Each structure stands twice: as structure tokens, then as C-alpha cells.
Structure 1
Amino acid sequence: MRTGVPASEQTSCAKGGPQAYCPENTEGTEAVQVTDCQNPEDNQPQNEQGYSNPQDFGQLMASYEGKAKGYQVPPFGWRICLAHEFAEKRKPFNANNVSLSNLMKHLGMGLRYLQWWYRKTQVEKKTPFIDLINSVPLRQIYGCPLGGIGGGTITRGWRGQFCRWQLNPGMYQHQTVIADQFTVCLRRKGQTVYQQVLSVERPSVLQSWNWGLCGYFAFYHALYPRAWTVYQLPGQNVTLTCRQITPILPHDYQDSSLPVGVFVWDVENEGDEALDVSIMFSMRNGLGGEDDAPGGLWNEPFCLERDGETVQGLLLHHPTPPNPYTMALAARLTADTMVTHLTAFDPDSTGQQVWQDLLQDGQLDSLAGQSLPSQKGVGLAGAVCVMGKLPPRGQCRLEFSLAWDMPRIMFGAKGQVYYRRYTRFFGPDGHAAPTLSHYALCRYADWEERISAWQSPVLDDRSLPAWYKSALFNELYFLADGGTVWLEVPEDCLREETVGSMCQLRPLLREYGRFGYLEGQEYRMYNTYDVHFYASFALVMLWPKLELSLQYDMALATLREDLAQQQYLMSGIIAPVKRRNVVPHDVGDPDDEPWLRVNAYVVHDTADWKDLNLKFVLQVYRDYYLTGDHCFLRDMWPVCLAVMESEMKFDKDQDGLIENGGYADQTYDGWVTTGPSAYCGGLWLAAVAVMVKMAALCGAREVQDKFSSILSRGQEAYERLLWNGRYYNYDCSSQPQSYSIMSDQCAGQWFLRASGLGEGDSEVRD
């Protein structure tokens, strides 16, 4: 009896056409050979209309040799053949990329950074919010993430791997977990004829499994929050389409918060014989890193029947502090399917046990009871399998879900316990994983209808280019996978002196929670305000209450101060962490205690930045314009007055136009700007125009007259000092860059027009 799959007989795409291994002389099976894929050099490129036409998706699909189009895969999105290899191997920017001239110019900053980095990593045992020493390697592997907003995310690669994890809030682990796989098993007339891990990889563990799927006959298609992977199985006349669904639903403040993902497998049989088809979903308990090493992890099966629907699966309990969680692998049981499980196997072994179990009859043993707790240094994994009947020339559907329940979280400082948004609906006790799984598998069809209704007007608009349709939706991934947290706000967190005169702050935060997302996955600061300015349109147009919540948090932080002294890396000056009536750069680092300690950014003292206050004013009015929320405008009005009064000191010559200070005092924090500038000056004039409008709405006639006068003088100064007859100069210095064109000088004008203003007196020259 064969107990494993010899490497020489595994599926291969090597030139010469070796054949896929199918089980041989195994109990309950018979030896069957099938034709596998050959190198694309041995084939003529497909040119039929549809998925294999290279011109439709460019070089990313040039390697695709299959004819399968998959089940209901949309025509728009980002598509790539699983055999594609990127010709350009990119690397992240790090200290080695700094030129000698720049190094000498910023020598002081570099030395201060090294000193700060050493103290942060070696003394405080924390990770730097920007780590130039240990950059995350750039890997061109990532696809759509799983998980709603604020409950953590798990990113799958476009080749199907589970490879980026953000379960602990705001902190990423870039680990590809080999045991986390889907495997297909086909049986004809009671015999297993094909069994294959749906992965092109050939790892050093689980070697009894049949790895090395031929990527030339498979492709991935992303249109967030859904993704499709199509597998044409060589020689089997069978096509698998896996549809990945995440509940990202505009204007939905419940299901959009759920830490779940659904995998729907549509299996098509183009042959004349009936088949039994099984899909096995295996997963390691944990990531195989130091969090797992102490042991104590355990798995157990579950079955939840509710409202006539039954869901079965496995719970993977990971009780490691400070943020314990339970992962649930689950499948929907229907009249046409059978769900089985394997509670425990060793993911670092050859995998013979689970492979043979599936190979025997297309099912798993389904032993009752929980596993023993894992031993120190020993891995633990489990698997769930669904089997269905596949008629000749027919189709069947197999449905899985992945859910994770980490209800209580602590940030890096471990100072305060928070509850995630979804606990409002599914409870905070840590036992919600089965219910989340059941809910997801019963509701995903409704989610898909709502996703289609949201996306169709854009996708069906013939005036929009295909690349735009893809980018518009796929780039939304960052709202969920930006280290995002969506937290419940307890009543005692909002003290009366904190709330002040903001009448809507308490009810809004209590109802919709607190929202935070990072500037970047490796630029680790929550709600970095100078760049939220650009991204905020997605939030206010799709989840406006979250945008208002963020604005209230920013208003509260603006009115506070933190007089603790901080050395800033660029200049070396020592100044307070946060001054009153100045908009903060960010609300903190997830490895510290965000919202309680703001301004994790220590490169510059941003109290003197010229654009942060202006961006707050512009966003307040834009948010009012798009939501029509008069209470919000009234609450924000005193804060807008305070930050504009703070900004006045930068107009040193009282000509109605602010001046930059001769250093990088705005969001482009490596670009020195001197005197009046097109970018900051344009933002200033736009903010002044907005103050005129808001003063009128708030009945503040004296304020309206004051800012009307400033606007008139400022427009004249802007034209006189910056317009050179053809365009606006970068700034008013005598440096060569002064005569360059900065495209973002239009930012203020853009916001005015997006807010229904920008015509007539409030507009500068087009």
C-alpha cells in the first residue's frame, strides 16, 4: 500500500509533459493516470474571447493556458494567472537606498533616528512606528483580505496562500502558513481518481500531500470585497471556481464589522460520468510562531442548527494572552452534501494521516470530542471537508466559512481593554465563533446582492475605463486591512469635561463606536490626519457615521494638550508632544495606547505644520455638506474657530496669506517650503472660504465679515506672489524648486468643489 506521494510522481509543469500523480494501490482506490499540463511553450496561445485573451488583462494573464472561464466571474477587476512570475523584482525603500548627498544632508537626523531606534527596540522592547532598519520584505503575492471592518483581517495571496495576518490590532505578521490549504478529491464509481492540494507550492513539510498544482491552468480575479480563483483540473473535465466573500457593505454598521469570510466552491462537470467531489479546508491553530510555542492550544468540533440551517466545523482555540481568540472552520450542511472533520493533526509532519484519511473515501474520520492541548513546541492543525454529488454535465456547490472571535483586545501598552464593534451583536464572552460561522453561511447570498447593487452602476458605466473600475473597488481593501480597529465606546470613557459643548459626541460614539486605521501597514500611526484628508472620501461616502466618529475624536484630541517633552528627529528640537488647539498628526501607535497618547510621529513637531488645521476645517465642512448633519456642524464650529485662530500666527505680514517656515512644515515632510506656497496657500484660502460659509450657517456675522476680509486680501496676495503668468510657483524662495509645479496645489480647490463651493469669489485662478 502506498502511504505517500513520491516527489517524482507529483503534479508537475516541467517541460516534457509529466503526468499528475493519482492514487495507486491504496485501499479503496485504483491507479488512474491523467494528462497534466505542459509548459506553455509547447502550446499555441489561446486567443478566444474571454479569460485567455492576453490583451484583456495584459501580461498578468499571458501564461494562462486553460480554456475555463469559471463560474460567474465578472469581466472587470484585477486578474492574474497562477503561473505568472513578475519580471521586475521590487524591494522596499530602506536606509541603504539613501544617497550619499542626502545622507550627509540629514546626518544629524540619521544619528538621532539610530539612537531613538535603539532605545525603542532594545530598551523599551517595542517596534518602531517606522522601522528603516528591518524593512518588511516586499513580496508580490497579496490578494484580497478576509474580514470586515475593525475585527482583524487575514490576507490571502493570489495563489491561494494565507500569508498576512492582522489579528492583534494594528500589528501585522507576514507569515505564509503552509497547512492552511484547500484540497480537492474526485471519486468515480466509488474510487478516488484525483486528489490535489490547490497550491502551486512545494513545501518542505506535509510531504505526503500532492503539491505542485499546475498554475498555467488556474487564475485569480479580484474585485474587492470578493475574489475568484478558477482551477481547470487537468484531464478531469472538471472546473472549480472558488468565490471568496467578505461583508464590506456600504452604510451597514453591523455586518460590515464581522470578522468572517465565506468560500463558495462551484464545481462544474463537463464529462459524461457522475462524480463525488470533496473539498477539504485545513488550517493550523495559530501561525507557527512564538505565540504558539508555549502550547496549550486545542481544537474541538461543533455543530450549530438554527432556523432550519445546520453548520458544522471545527473550533481552533488559541488562548495565548494578551488577545486570545478562537478560529472557526465551518461548512454548511445541506441535503446534497456531507460534512466531516479531522480534529487534530501535526502540521509539521509529513501529513500522511490526513492525506490517507481523505484519500480512502473522500471524507474525514470525524472523531468526537476535543483534542488534547498542544505540547510546548508542537504544532496543531485541523480540517473540515464537504462532499457533494456532481452529476454528468452538471454542477454542485460546497460552502465554507472562516470566522475568528477575538472580542477583547489590548494595544501594545496593555493599559486598557477594548471590545470590538461586532461584540455589540454577537457578545463579548469569546464564544461567538460558531454563531458567526452560521450567520455568515446563511447571509452571504444577501451580502452578494448588496455588493452587486453597490458596484453595478460603476461596472455598467461604459464611459469609465476598465482600470478605473478595478482600482476604485480593489483599493478599498485598506479600509479593512489598514490595521483597522472599530471599537465600542463605554459610557465611562466619555467624561463630561471631555465632551464639553459637543452635544452629539456622546450619542454618536456610543451608537457607532470609535474607528481607526493606519497610515500604512509599515507606517504605523492611527488616523494620520494629513493623509486621511485624501482617503476620507471613501469613508464619508460609504460609512459616513464612521467619518463623523473619527472627526469627533480628532476634535477632542485637538482641544487637549500633552506637555511631556519629546525630541524630534529631523531638527533635534525638544518640544511638547501635543499643544492645545492644534490638530494632531495622528491619534497614536497600536504598539502603545492610541487615543490616550497621540502623535506617535516624532520626525517633526507638527504643531507648526501649516496644513493640518486647514485640512480639519475643510473636512468638517465637506462632511457637513455630504451628510447634512447640522448638529455635527454646530459641534465642530468652536473647534474650527480655535484652529483657525491658531493658524493666524503664520500670516506674519498680515496680507491674508500664511507663510511656510523654510523647512518641511507640511505633509510632504521631506520637501522644504519657504514663504507663501501654492500648496499651503491654496489650502489656506479654501479653508478661509469655508469659514465664511460656516459662519453664515451658524449665524456668526462678525466672524463671517472677518474671514471675508481675509479671503479678499489673501486671494490678491496669492495671485501677486505666486502666479508667474503661466502657473503658480511652488513657493517664494530663491531655490530652483521654487519654479516647479506642485500638482497638489489644487487640493484646496478640489475640496471646495467637492463641497459644492469653488465657484466665483471663493475660487482662485483655474
Structure 2
Amino acid sequence: HPDSHQGGLRTLSSQRKNNNNKQTRGGHDWGEKSTADLMSRYVSKEMGYGVPQEGWRICLAHEFKEKRKPFQAKDVSLSNIWDHVGLGIRYLKWWYKKTQVEKKAPFIDMFGAQPLRQIYGAPLGGIGGGTITRGWRGEFCRWQLNPGMYHYKTVTANQFTVCLRRGGQTVYQQVLSVERPPTLQGWNWGYCGEYAFYHALYPRAWTVYHLPGQNVTLTCRQISPIIPHDYQDSSLPVAVFVWDIENKNDYDLDVSIMFTMVNGSGQKDDKSGGHWNEPFHLEKEGEAVSGVLLHHCPPLNPYTLCIAAREQPDREVSHQTAFSPKGTCSSLWSDLITDGRLDSPTGSSPPTPRGDKVAAALAVSCSVSAQGHNSLEFCLAWDMPKITFGSREREHIRRYTRYFGTKGDASPSLSHYALTHYRQWEKSIEEWQRPILQDKSLPSWYKSALFNELYFVADGGTVWTELSEDADVSGGMRSEDGGLPAQPAVIKEYGRFAYLEGQEYRMYNTYDVHFYASFALIMLWPKLALSLQYDIAGSVVQQDPTERLHLMSGRCSPVKAKNVVPHDIGDPDDEPWQRVNAYLIHDTADWKDLNLKFVLQVYRDFHLTKDSQYLQDMWPICQAVMESEIKFDLDGDGLIENSGYADQTYDGWTVTGPSAYCGGLWLASLCVMCKMARLVENEEKYKYYRDLLDRGSAAFDQLLWNGKYYNYDSSGRDFSNSVMSDQCAGHWFLKASELGEGDYQAFPKEKIQTALKTVFDLNVMSFAGGHMGAVNGMRPEGVPDRSSVQSDEVWIGVVYGLAATMIHEGMWEEGMRTAEGCYRTVWERLGMAFQTPEAYCEKGIYRSLAYMRPLSIWAMQLALNAWVKQMIPESDLIPPPKFECFSK
């Protein structure tokens, strides 16, 4: 690959020409067709009513060929196993105590990793009120109603069923599921998946069903209120299903859709007894809705599920208050097939006896004229206003209760609001997405990735609560003592926000990972981003001297040291915000990246929001963490050293002495401290940080630059000259903050560009044929660095950040190709839609499904926005360059 950027573009162009005759998608051989190309011949060329062109699409009959397994201890190579023997023994003892004695779930379960189920679709619900995931084949299969606690159970009876009637006779009735379960044998299962496809563009999804032999097409549109810069409706625990019906016959039809739902979520407490259902009708503001409330009464966090429909003159809404979802369930099926409606009994069902489950059904009917179309609307809502985390010590109030109350009776009002406002939600979503979707210079895969990866903002175990009246964010430390206001205005107004590191790595606001993911929040819900930062800042000034054993070192040290950034703000199975640092593998007080990532985010957030009060509040906190950080400069040359352990976000990859990753973050942090010192008019601090920056930059260049890239570290060990894909992370944040040049430059531009080109050549193009993104570590000779359990992994979120850095440096095509490899691998080859993992290897293994870090794809959008802003004068009408890499 030539050193010149233009030469690199010519090389990629010639590769495209050479691949024209291959079985391709957009110009490159992927070994098999993408799922978007696997539509059955039975699927109409008309995609369905209102389905957009962009997004992730899959035929319901599709089967993914590759079946991967989760990383387990046995996957550690022999060369690395001795480094982890002590950890393994200590973890086993801790795991046994946690699971067998305390009867708790471990925050990371190394013996119970989730197997890959290639079934998930767009999750339902807004932000922070819990989520329910509906699979791409239509099943309700992943549940997170108790905050941060997941279970993965497909509830068979939760289904949509269609009934077609002509001339008073039922001619077709079918459960819209491809499954053939052993239960509910009285229903007509086994819909042929070749006649249907699923299409996701989060926060909406479409499933298009062509009913074989009926000349009827159903399009189910799923809508959740995920709306940027909206802090009310985005918090609502609701979803709407709009069924558009196209009748292509020359005669009229009567069409009914039935929605069935079990009272519960497939857990053992569904049979605990005491659950009950009741019908309801609510009319206000000239609109009426009716449906069934399913009251679920477990000992912890009771809630009400609600299935509802809007009443209209030409629609008929009917219901079955209660039925048993076991046995054949023929009576419910017969009830619908008789006349296309349900019996609609009045009154509530009795509480269930222990050992029994109860379910409810709701049917909506309408007429569809010959060659015409009509639509039916359903809502699913859930009301769990008060939550208790696993410790059961405190009660928290969810954000949406500000608008719908805390009494637990909000389900009818929630469903009424959703059914009368979803059109406005869709309008807002379309206005937000349209500029990107209509930008022909952007490839289709990128548009799908950008929006669909956003699922984690809601489905990352997310909790959004009101700040209690007695809460004190900084634990009594006031501003004059280096602390914060007891209740910062942004938290008081917008509440507290937390999301998990991953659905399997159960820690809230894991800060070294949030560094990558934070772009989605600061760009789309900036008040939540600032709220999270205030919580982190409040915990910085606090301490917890309680001694505990850290599993890697075998040494005891305090849970939380003062004036250092915590690793996380707690485990939802304990008491988040009160007890931080659920992560006990390493003592993160000695981690080199956490403090620096706080400083970099503070300035980036200020740059994007222009919130001067935020900058003023954070300035003393930034000084405190930088003073804690400077102790890692052991030789006084202005550059920090790593410890010889895994003391940063790559917590399985040891690093010794000055390093590209942490050293780069340090220099970038000094840059922004200089900038902030000037903004707060503190010339003394500016000179202090300027001196450190000048000396540290010289040391960084002398110790790590080898002419082509920055070495992994300066230790001189066998693998110290490995090429790290994330070596420019500090520079990435400077560019995201419109720094990195002039007075606020830490790295020479030509060296950054040369390093990025080396990463592209080696970590991207020399790994897996250039089709799987960037491997974390690559040897200069072009083979992966296998010195650790993480160096030969691809971290999807890191790759998206790397791609953003390339775009900032004008390497648009290289950046797009780098990122596309991850999207194609995860979404189209491995079947990991809506569960993007932290990592995968070239073959066989993945690690930590449904992970926070891939939200960093929004950094790519920020980079694209910055490029347009800097390179295209408003007076010019020159379009941005076309990204033709893999997509037409």
C-alpha cells in the first residue's frame, strides 16, 4: 500500500475493479451473500407498505451458517494461562460464594456466558423504563423489566394472529410465527418464513407478511419513542404496533388481528400466584382506547403489562380477559375463527393459584375494500414506576412517572398517550434520520449501523430515575472543598441516567468503555450525558476505605480512593450510586486511563454544548484527577508510565512503561487542560500544563515513535513494538473537540496520518482479508499479536472510533472500509443483530454479547459533520466525497 493517501485510494479502486466478477455485495467478496440479498423469490418486489429502503433486512426463513461460541476460560492459550492461574482460583472461590452462599448473580459470569441466539430484533420501549425485545421472527424473547437484570426466555403464547373473512366466513387464520411449538397445539402454527421479511431501522422496525394464496400483504410497523433531544416521551415504557393491510383481491375482506400476551415474562414468578387481569376502557380528549391490564405481583418490583387498541367507528375492538397458555388452547382459537372477534367478558379474572399462568388476548377488526388498504393499531405498555435494586435498600422513582404518576395505575394513560401521539413520534424520527438517509454519499450499511447500533441506549439495562429530595451527588463535598453542588441543576431537572457496560458485564456507567460510547449520548441526549458526568464527578471526590480482595493481584485495597475516577457506579443487583466499583478484578485506582478519559470528555462535552456552568463545575474536578494522574510520571519527564500490569481498558493486555494508548491519552488531556485553563482565565495553570505537555510530547515521540507508528509500549519486550489499532485514541478526542492543531496539538499531523495508514495496512487489510475490521494488535510482520487474550480480538467499538479518527484525518475511504468490516461481520455473517458484542476473534470465538462500546459509531457521524463544517464553505454547493467502498 503506497505511503501517499491518494495512492491508497487508487489501490482500493483497483481492488474494486478486480473483484467485479466475484459474488459480491457492493464490490467485495464476502464469501456468501449478505442477508439483504437472501430474500426469497416469494417476497414481492414491493417491500411493503411504508418500508424504507435503508436498514437491516432479513428473510424470516434465513438461517445463519456460522455458529460461534462465547469465550471461556478454556480458550486461553497455553502461553497466557500461567498469567491467569491465580485469577482463576480466586474467581472460582468468589463465584461460589456469590452464587451458592449469597444466591446472587455474579457481575461477570465466566461460567455462564450467554450462548449465541441469532434471533434478536429491535427492542421495545423508551429509555430507562425497561425493555422487551421482539425477535426478527416475531417472538418476544429478551426481557429487562427489573433494571439491569436480563433473562432470555421466548414466551410462546405472545403472538400476533391474523384472521381473514369473506362474506361472513373465515377463509384463513394463522399465527404469524414460523415456529411449531409443542404447546398450544390448537393454534395454526408454522407460517412459511419464505413469504416474509423483517426490516429494522431503529427505533422502528417493519415485518412484511405475504399471506400465501390470499393475495393479502400485512406490514407490521413497530415504533418506540426514541427521539433525540426529547426528555419526556423518550422515557416512556411503551411501543406501538401499526398493522397496514393491503387487499389485492377484487373483493372486500374483513380482517382481524389478535394480540396475545402472558401475564409475566417467562420467569418462574409467572407461576408464583396472585397475578390477575382486567379489561379497561379509557376515553379522554375525544379519543378512546380499550384493552386488558395484566397485573403482575412478584415480591420485588410489581408491574402491570397492558395491551390496548384505539377505538374508531370503523374498527371493532374485542378481548378475552384471561385464558390459560397451556394445553391446546383451542377455545380461544375457535372464538376468533367463528366471527373474527373475541367474547369480551366483563369483570376481572381471579388471582392465579400458585403453579398457574394466565394470559390475555385483544383483537381488532376492520373491513378492507377490494384493491384497498386499511390499518389497525395496538399498544404494548408496562408500568413499573418504583424500582428497587438487588440490595432492596432504597426505592427509586423512574423518570416517566414525572408525567404519569407513581401509583402503578398509569398503563391505560400510557397506552392512550402512545396511540394518540405515535404519528408525531414518527414525524420527529423521520426528520432526525432523513438528512442521513437521503445522503447518497453515505453507504447503505453505514446508515443501518448508525441507527441500529443505537438500540443499546435503551436496551443496555438502562435506568433513568428522578433525583430523590435527600440525594447529595458529591456526598457532602461542596464546591469550595473541591466538590459539587448537592443537587446539580442538570440532574435535578433531567434525572439520573445509567446504562450497563454490557448485558453480560453487569456494571453501570463503566467509565473506560463509556469513553467510546458517550458520543451517542452527547450528540443526541446531551443533558443525559452531562447528568452522567456530574454523577461521575461526584463520586471522584468521595472515597470508600473498605478493604476488599482484588482477584487479579490477590491483594486487598480500598473499594474507592479519593480524587480518582471510579471504574463504574455499581451493580444493579446491589445498590448503584451508593456502592461504586462493582468491578473487583483489578484495583482501578491504579488504572492509567480513567482519569484522563474524564478530562477529555469534560472538554468535548463543553465544546459541543457550550455549557459554561458545566465547565466551571468540572474544572476543579479535572485538576484533582490530573494531580492523581501525575504520580504515574515516575521519572519526571512529563510522560506517565504503565505499571507492567493490565492497568487500562485493555484489562487482559499488559503494558509496561510509557505506552501509545495511555501516553497518548495523557498528552491529549494536557492539551485540553491548557485549553480549559485559558477559558477559565487561569494563566498559572495554563503554564503548568503547557510545560508538562511540551516535555511529555518530546518524551512520547522519542520513546515510542519508530518511523511508521507508535510502539505499543517502550518496555523493549518481545511484543512492545506491536501495532495497536487504538494508538491514536487521544488524538481522536482532540479532533472531536476541534483541537489537535496549533497551540493545542500533541501529535504531529504527519505522524498521526502515517500511523493510521500503518494500522490500515496491517491491522485491517492484513487481517482476515480486510473483511473483519481492525484487530487490536498486529505484529509488524503482518500476523496478529497473540501475546494476550485481547490483543488478537477485534473490538467493534474501538474499530468505529478508529474509523472516526481516519475520517477526521481525511482518510474517508479507509475509515469506511475499516468500519464496514465490523458491521458486515456482526450483523450479516454472525447473526448478532441487536446484540453487538464487545469482541470477536478471526475464527470461532466472540465475547460479551450486547455491549456498550459500539455506540462509538456516532463518533463517525461527528467526524463526518466536522469534515463538512471545516472543508465545505456554506456558500459552496460541492457535495462531500462519495463513500463507494463496499456499497453502491
Equivalent AA in structure 2 for residue 61 of structure 1: L
Aligned counterparts, 1:275-286, within 5 A? 275-286=253-264
Identify the residue that residue 371 of structure 2 maps to in structure 1: 393
CA distance in 2 between partners of 1:123 and 1:760 (Å): 59
Identify the residue that residue 439 of structure 1 maps to in structure 2: 417
Equivalent AA in structure 2 for residue 621 of structure 1: Y
> 2:548 matched to 1:566?
yes
SS for the counterpart of 1:588 is coil
Residue 57 (structure 1) shift: 5.4
8 Å contact 1:63–1:84 — kept in the other structure?
no
> 2:198 matched to 1:220?
yes
> 2:43 matched to 1:66?
yes
Change (3 A) 1:128 1:294: same
Aligned partner of 1:198 among 176, 194, 200: 176
Higher relative contact order at CA 8 Å, sep ≥6: structure 1 or structure 2? 2
Identify the residue that residue 804 of structure 2 maps to in structure 1: none
Identify the residue that residue 233 of structure 1 maps to in structure 2: 211
SS for the counterpart of 1:708 is helix
Greater displacement, 504-513 / 209-218: 504-513
Aligned partner of 1:520 among 492, 502, 517: 502
Aligned partner of 2:617 among 635, 656, 661: 635
Residue 102 (structure 1) shift: 2.8
8 Å contact 1:77–1:470 — kept in the other structure?
yes
Aligned partner of 1:644 among 595, 614, 626: 626
Identify the residue that residue 409 of structure 1 maps to in structure 2: 387
Calculate the TM-score normalised by the size of structure 2: 0.79
> 2:242 matched to 1:270?
no
CA distance in 1 between partners of 2:601 and 2:236 (Å): 28
Unaligned runs of 5+ in 1: 1-53
Residue 499 (structure 1) shift: 5.7
Change (3 A) 1:516 1:691: same
Residue 736 (structure 1) shift: 2.3
Equivalent AA in structure 2 for residue 293 of structure 1: K
Identify the residue that residue 763 of structure 1 maps to in structure 2: 746
CA distance in 1 between partners of 2:356 and 2:246 (Å): 39
Aligned partner of 2:132 among 154, 157, 160: 154
Residue 510 (structure 1) shift: 1.3
> 2:728 matched to 1:746?
yes
CA distance in 2 between partners of 1:100 and 1:697 (Å): 53
Aligned partner of 2:657 among 667, 675, 678: 675
8 Å contact 1:401–1:441 — kept in the other structure?
yes
8 Å contact 2:154–2:266 — kept in the other structure?
no
> 2:718 matched to 1:709?
no
Equivalent AA in structure 2 for residue 75 of structure 1: Q
Post-superposition Cα deviations, 1:463-494, rounded to whole Å, max 9, x if no partner, equal 11111000000000000000000000012112
Post-superposition Cα deviations, 1:543-594, rounded to whole Å, max 9, x if no partner, equal 0000000000000111110111111111111111100000000000000001
Equivalent AA in structure 2 for residue 719 of structure 1: D
8 Å contact 1:109–1:570 — kept in the other structure?
yes
CA distance in 1 between partners of 2:363 and 2:47 (Å): 25
8 Å contact 1:64–1:83 — kept in the other structure?
no
> 2:521 matched to 1:532?
no
> 2:574 matched to 1:611?
no
What is the aligned residue count?
Answer: 713
Identify the residue that residue 639 of structure 2 maps to in structure 1: 657
Identify the residue that residue 700 of structure 1 maps to in structure 2: 682
SS for the counterpart of 1:736 is coil
CA distance in 2 between partners of 1:497 and 1:312 (Å): 47
CA distance in 2 between partners of 1:439 and 1:706 (Å): 56
Equivalent AA in structure 1 for residue 651 of structure 2: D
8 Å contact 2:475–2:538 — kept in the other structure?
no
Identify the residue that residue 87 of structure 1 maps to in structure 2: 65
CA distance in 2 between partners of 1:497 and 1:565 (Å): 20
CA distance in 2 between partners of 1:736 and 1:82 (Å): 50
Change (3 A) 1:75 1:479: same
CA distance in 1 between partners of 2:165 and 2:220 (Å): 19
SS for the counterpart of 2:122 is strand
Aligned counterparts, 1:237-316, within 5 A? 237-316=215-294
8 Å contact 1:165–1:174 — kept in the other structure?
yes
Two-structure CA RMSD over aligned residues (Å):
1.4
CA distance in 2 between partners of 1:600 and 1:64 (Å): 51
Post-superposition Cα deviations, 1:361-384, rounded to whole Å, max 9, x if no partner, equal 000000000001111111100000
Identify the residue that residue 374 of structure 1 maps to in structure 2: 352
Post-superposition Cα deviations, 1:180-224, rounded to whole Å, max 9, x if no partner, equal 000000000000000000000001111000000000000000000
SS for the counterpart of 1:471 is helix
Residue 321 (structure 1) shift: 1.8
CA distance in 1 between partners of 2:162 and 2:259 (Å): 9
Identify the residue that residue 27 of structure 1 maps to in structure 2: none
Equivalent AA in structure 1 for residue 143 of structure 2: W
CA distance in 2 between partners of 1:55 and 1:191 (Å): 46
Change (3 A) 1:727 1:295: same
CA distance in 1 between partners of 2:37 and 2:199 (Å): 11
Residue 101 (structure 1) shift: 3.6
CA distance in 2 between partners of 1:254 and 1:216 (Å): 40
SS for the counterpart of 1:707 is helix
Residue 763 (structure 1) shift: 3.1
CA distance in 2 between partners of 1:288 and 1:154 (Å): 12
CA distance in 2 between partners of 1:102 and 1:370 (Å): 61
CA distance in 2 between partners of 1:702 and 1:430 (Å): 56
> 2:703 matched to 1:721?
yes
Aligned partner of 1:455 among 422, 426, 433: 433
CA distance in 2 between partners of 1:646 and 1:611 (Å): 12
SS for the counterpart of 2:720 is helix
8 Å contact 1:64–1:218 — kept in the other structure?
no
Identify the residue that residue 831 of structure 2 maps to in structure 1: none
CA distance in 2 between partners of 1:199 and 1:305 (Å): 33
Residue 503 (structure 1) shift: 4.5
Unaligned runs of 5+ in 2: 1-30, 753-888
Greater displacement, 587-596 / 485-494: 485-494
Identify the residue that residue 690 of structure 1 maps to in structure 2: 672
SS for the counterpart of 2:602 is helix
CA distance in 2 between partners of 1:137 and 1:297 (Å): 31
CA distance in 2 between partners of 1:704 and 1:318 (Å): 59
8 Å contact 1:64–1:219 — kept in the other structure?
no
Aligned partner of 2:399 among 408, 418, 421: 421
CA distance in 1 between partners of 2:90 and 2:33 (Å): 50
Aligned partner of 1:584 among 557, 566, 569: 566
CA distance in 1 between partners of 2:475 and 2:106 (Å): 33
CA distance in 2 between partners of 1:754 and 1:64 (Å): 45
CA distance in 1 between partners of 2:514 and 2:532 (Å): 10
8 Å contact 2:473–2:535 — kept in the other structure?
no
Calculate the TM-score normalised by the size of structure 1: 0.92
Identify the residue that residue 603 of structure 2 maps to in structure 1: 621
Greater displacement, 54-63 / 721-730: 54-63
Aligned partner of 2:719 among 726, 730, 737: 737
Post-superposition Cα deviations, 1:650-691, rounded to whole Å, max 9, x if no partner, equal 001111100111111111001110111011010000000100
Residue 98 (structure 1) shift: 2.6
SS for the counterpart of 1:525 is coil
CA distance in 2 between partners of 1:667 and 1:595 (Å): 21
Change (3 A) 1:709 1:403: same
Change (3 A) 1:481 1:98: same
Equivalent AA in structure 1 for residue 221 of structure 2: R
8 Å contact 2:473–2:485 — kept in the other structure?
no
Equivalent AA in structure 1 for residue 747 of structure 2: V
CA distance in 2 between partners of 1:265 and 1:467 (Å): 27
Residue 293 (structure 1) shift: 2.0
